[in-house]
Amino acid sequence: MTTHQMTINIPFSKFFLLLCLCGLMLSGCGFQPMHGQFSQSAVKNSPTHQSIKIDIIPDRSGQILRNDLMDRLYVYGEPTAPLYTLTIAPIKESTRDLAITKSSEATRAQLWLTTTMTLKNNSGEVLLTRDLRSTASYNTLESEFATRVTEKSARESALGDLARQAELNLTLYFNQKP
């Protein structure tokens, strides 16, 4: 059997016209980028993100998450007169073994992190509450040290994902706000 390639010959002028038409339709739909220089409240230039105080989050995982959030939101340093307070509940962590061998040894594990973020204004009114969840997998190796290193790396990756989710939820909230 031979395979035949089918080619469609569209004149360049029709292709260009079709491309322009698609561009016009996209610009007329109200599409607006969330990040970037044309965004109304992009994180890098957002006065609202710069005016959020991030409360202390307990435990080592909370410290890592808070530092990640500070890196994402505080482009020009911590706010001196914050208008909002972001509270992150203590992070709940659970681990489940995956890929069990015949000798009942796990060769892979899954780490689940869950927490809740709450954004309040200065008067204490709750403006936004969202549950945040992240999952990461890691190898369980014969060496306990190597297993702890891969677990730590998976935890840091999952915490980075929680920070990204919190940033995204804040950006969406402030973009929808009139």
Domains of the chain by start residue, with CATH: 41-176 (3.30.160.150)
Strand partners, 119: 86, 128
Q: How many CB atoms lie within 10 A of CB 173?
A: 16
Cα 72-77-81 angle, rounded to 5 deg: 110
Report which DSSP code applies to 89.
P
Asked if 129 and 116 touch (Cβ cutoff 8 Å), the reply is: yes
Select from 42, 59, 53 the least CA-distant residue to 118. Answer: 53
User: Which pLDDT score is estimated for 158?
Assistant: 94
More confident site: 161 or 101: 161
CA distances from 168 to 5, 162, 164 (A): 44, 10, 6
User: Which pLDDT score is estimated for 13?
Assistant: 74
For the residues 31-41, what does the mean pLDDT come to? 50
Residue 175 — very low, low, confident or very high, per pLDDT cuts 50/70/90? confident
Which amino acid would we find at residue 67? Answer: N
Helical H segments across the chain, by residue range? 12-27, 59-73, 144-176
User: Which pLDDT score is estimated for 102?
Assistant: 61
pLDDT in tens, 59-83: 999 999 999 999 988 887 888 888 9
More confident site: 55 or 32: 55
Residue 7 has pLDDT above 90, yes or no: no
Select from 115, 98, 94 the least CA-distant residue to 107. Answer: 98
Which amino acid would we find at residue 45? Answer: N
Among 25-34, 92-101, 106-115, 161-170, name the one with the lowest average pLDDT: 25-34
